[in-house]
Amino acid sequence: MLQSIDVGPTDPILMLLAQYHADPNPEKIDLGIGVYRDHKGRTPILKAVKQAEAHLLKHEQSKAYLGPAGDPTFNTLVTKLLLDDQLTREPALSETLCTLQTPGGTGALRVAGDLIAHANPHATLWLSNPPWVTHRPIFSSAGLQLGYYRYFDPIKRSLDFEGMKEDLRDAAPGDVVVIQVAGHNPCGCDLNLQQWEELSSLMLDLNLTPLLDLAYHGLCTGLESDLLGLRVIQRHHQEWLLTYSASKTFGIYFERTGALIIHCKDKAVTQDVRQEALNLICGNYYMPPGHGASIVTTILESEELNQQWRKELNKARLRISDCRKLLTDSLNGTTAWHYRFLNHQRGMFSYLGLSETQLSELREQHSLYIGTGGRINVAGINEKNVGRVCEALKAVQR
């Protein structure tokens, strides 16, 4: 039976990683995979995480099953991290919100996809063009139809907000729009306040539900300012979903830690949606893994670890913007291209808009590994490799 399997395309990031590992060149450079790197190219474990783990080793009492919603304390703390002031001002908000711990942001996206497909099997889910490459398989596997809205203007090399609005006007009532809240992957361009306000009123007019994807919290402009889009949506919309990834923000990638937050129009709908989400989780992974959530909980519960984590996260964020500046300064003047647009991009990624031919030339002739469309993990740039990166980019643009 299994010999008749129809094999789909491999995830392009995983394929790139495999090509990188197979490259014998000791000077090879990986700017493909989206993990934070320090100035030596390492992805270190945060001190706050190590201390939280030491605390857990000593004090953790049990690893008994937690249930499909995960750890209630983690869920409360993540909700508070994102919506503290709103909950203080409006305590009733907690009755129309529900938070579920998930295996990474990816798990949250898949549960959201299953829930949407269950609530409205005819819904089209709208993704940015270009999307995060994994959005497509996650939501197609949930059985959803996909639509794309323009997001990046390849000529101006910036956000195409007019194109985005124009394309979303084709959406039908009940459709869902996936919008990345901060540090758009792969483009590095985010909406400003006015654009969020405009987009929000467009979605309200068209009866579209926002699904906010937050995977780089604290790594773009700061822990509060990265939540600009959430603030606008939460203020105006009765129905919204948010998927949260703790992978980058806490540097706990393989612990698979995230959350799905859902806001519904009233308490009764929230309870039904929560119950159905739990049912769908039971039919999928049954329960999320615990260790990463225990780390996040330990950090957020401790004043000292919380401060330590904020300090380390801020340092990482500042390093990313230094890396972007280093790249831009080194590129400007080296080619006919003007790379100033890179300075307007935010978060871990910059998007060069390169063709497949240019990307394979970079891999094959320069051992430089860059993601689809020319997505660069800016944190992978350092003093040692920036010269070679610029030379290689210059060579493929001749």
Binding site for ligand PMP (CB under 6 A): 34, 104-106, 132, 180, 185, 213, 215, 245, 247, 258
3-state SS, residue 266: coil
DSSP string, 104-122: HHHHHHHHHHHHHHHH-TT
Regarding beta strands 258-263 and 240-245, do their DSSP bridges make them parallel or antiparallel, or are they unpaired? antiparallel
Q: Which amino acid does the sequence have at 212?
A: L
Residue number with CB closer to ligand PMP (185 or 382) = 185
Which residue out of 28, 30, 132, 309 is catalytically annotated?
132
Residue number with CB closer to ligand PMP (10 or 201) = 10
Q: How far is the CB of 112 from ligand PMP (least distance, A)?
A: 11
Measured CA to CA, the distance from residue 154 to residue 355 in angstroms comes to 11
Q: How far is the CB of 104 from ligand PMP (least distance, A)?
A: 3
Q: Which residue is nearest to ligand PMP (CB)?
A: 104
Regarding beta strands 145-150 and 124-129, do their DSSP bridges make them parallel or antiparallel, or are they unpaired? parallel
Which residue out of 30, 114, 213, 226 is catalytically annotated?
213
DSSP summary character for residue 131: P
Q: How far is the CB of 2 from ligand PMP (least distance, A)?
A: 28
Tokens encoding 311: 């300090």
Residue number with CB closer to ligand PMP (32 or 258) = 258
Do residues 68 and 289 lie in contact, with contact meaning Cβ atoms separated by under 8 Å? no
* 63 part of the active site: no
Task: Please tell me the total number of residues recorded for the chain in this structure.
Answer: 398
Residue number with CB closer to ligand PMP (185 or 385) = 185
Which residue out of 126, 190, 248, 309 is catalytically annotated?
248
Tokens encoding 254: 């393989």
Residue number with CB closer to ligand PMP (175 or 190) = 190
Q: How far is the CB of 158 from ligand PMP (least distance, A)?
A: 19
* 248 part of the active site: yes
Measured CA to CA, the distance from residue 306 to residue 249 in angstroms comes to 12
Sign of the alpha-carbon torsion through 298, 301, 304, 306? positive
Q: How far is the CB of 14 from ligand PMP (least distance, A)?
A: 12
Plot region of 188 (φ>0 → left; ψ -120 to 50 → alpha; else → beta): left
> Of all helices (H) and strands (E), which one includes residue 253?
none
* 132 part of the active site: yes
- Return the active site residues: 132, 213, 248
